[in-house]
Amino acid sequence: MKEQFLERMKMYLKDEFSKYEKTLDEEAFRGIRINTSKIDVDEFLKLHICECYPSKICPQSFYIPQQIKSLGNHPAHIAGLFYMQEPSASSAVEVLDVKQGDWILDMCAAPGGKSTQIAAKLNHTGFLVSNEIETKRAMILMSNMERLGFSECMITNARPNDLAKEMQGWFDKVLVDAPCSGEGMFKKHQSAIEDWSVEHVEACAQRQKHILDNAYEVLKENGILVYSTCTYSMEENEEVIYDFIQKYPDMKLVDCNVSFGRTGFAYKDLDVTKVRRIFPMDQGEGHFVAKLVKQGSSNELKKKALSSSVVPSYVEDFFENQLKERPKYLLQLQDKIYIKNSPFIKLKKIHILRQGLLAGEMVKNRFEPHQHFYSAGIHQNQFLKVYDMNDDECIKYLQGNLLQVEGYKGYTALTWKHHPIAFAKGDGMVLKNKYPKGMRIR
C-alpha cells in the first residue's frame, strides 16, 4: 500500500486508523442483491442458492461467504434473479428513494449495479436512462440490464454535456455515481492501487465537478440529485459537494435519511451530518453519498415521442402466438423490433445503444426473436407457450444442448422454477437450442 495514501487516511481517521489498517489485510466483503422485479426476497431465500446474511444498507442486499467464489453460471443468476454486488454499493440508490413512475438518469452507469437496482424499484414503470461514456463498459451495462429483464429504459453511450443539451429539465431524480480514484476498491482491484496518486485524486475531482454541472441541467425543479463515490478522499467528496453548492445556491443539501454508515469529515461550513460515509469498519468497502434537492426553476425541454411503428403482419402474428397481450408500443429500427410499455423517446445526437426491449429481428420475411424478449420479467406471466425445466434440463440447455421434450411446436419460452431464462424452437419431438452461443456455460 502506498505510504502517502496511508498518511492521508491516518489524518482522516485519527484514532480509528489502526482499525482501518487492519481491514486492509482482510478479504473484501462480497454480496448479492435480489432483483425484486422478478422475485421477492422471501421467495428467493427459499431457493437456497447460498448462505445469505442480511445487510443493514439495503433490504434486498445480502452478504455471502468468502468461500463462494462464483455464482455466475447458476441458473438463478442467468435468469436475472440477482446481481452480484457488495452491499455498500447499494447505498446510493437507497438514498435516491426511487418511486414508481419516476424519470431517472443514471449518469455514470456501467457496469450496471446501480441501474439494475433503480430499474427493479421502478418495476417497469417510469423511465430510466442509463448512460456510460466508455463504449466497452456501455456494452457490459446493456448486457446486465438485458439479463435482469428491463424494458422501460434507455442505454446511452454519450458525454454528460450531450445529455444536458437534449434532456434539460427532464428528470425527477439523477444519480451521479462518479468516476473516482477508487480508494474503497483497493482490495478488489490491484489497478486502483497502482493508479493512485494525489494528482489522480485531484484530476478525478475536476472531472466530477464537470459531471455535476451537467447533472444540474437535466434535473427538474424540486428534483433530487444523489452524488456518490467509492473513494475516501475529501477532495472527491465533501469538497466537491461544497463547491457544487457554492456554484448552484438553489441546490440544497438534505439529510440522506438512512441509518447506515457515519457522518462526513468536517469541511468549512458544510453540514457533514447530512452526508454518509461507509468504511470497512461499517461493513462495507467504502462509499460516500450526498443528497441534494433543486429548489430553483428548470428550463424543461419538450420531450418528443416516436409514433409506434407499423410492422409486417408476420411480426404481429409472432406476438399473437407468443403473448397473451400485444405489446403496447413497437419501434422498428432497420430490421430490429423493440417494444415498450410507454412511447419511445426521440433524441437527435445522443448515441442510443438500446431503448426498450429488443424483441427480435426480421430476416427474409420471418421474425427471429431475441434472448431479451424471453429473459424480460415484463413477460413473466404473459407467454402462451412455456416449458419449465428442471435443474438438470436447465444446465444441459445452458450448455447448448437440445431437450428431448415432445409436444411443443414453434418458439417456446423456457423457464427455471417458473422464471424466464431462455427460449427454444420445438418441432413436436424436441426443443432445439436457441440460447446465444456466446452466453453458453461450460
Q: How far apart are CA 335 and CA 312, in angstroms?
A: 11
> What's the CA gap between 65 and 323, in Å, rounded?
40
Active site residue 230: yes
Instruction: Return the C-alpha cell found at 24.
Output: 486492509
| Among 174, 62, 170, 32, residue whose Cα is nearest residue 109 | 174
Catalytic residue among 52, 58, 230, 256: 230
Q: What is the DSSP letter of 85?
A: -
- Helical residues (DSSP H) of 55-158, grouped into ranges: 75-78, 91-96, 113-122, 135-147
From first CA to last CA, the distance across the chain in angstroms is: 37
Which residues, in sequence order, are CB contacts of 134 under 8 Å at separation 6+?
Answer: 110
CB 94 within 8 A of CB 117: no
CA 28, CA 186: separation in Å to the nearest integer? 9
DSSP state of 40: -
Residues in CB range of 102: below 8 A, 6 or more apart: 122, 126, 172, 173
State the cell numbers at 270: 458544510
User: How many C-beta atoms surround the C-beta of residue 320 within 10 A?
Assistant: 13
A 10 A CB-CB count for 31 gives 26
Residue with cell 468497502: 285
Residues marked active site are found at 230
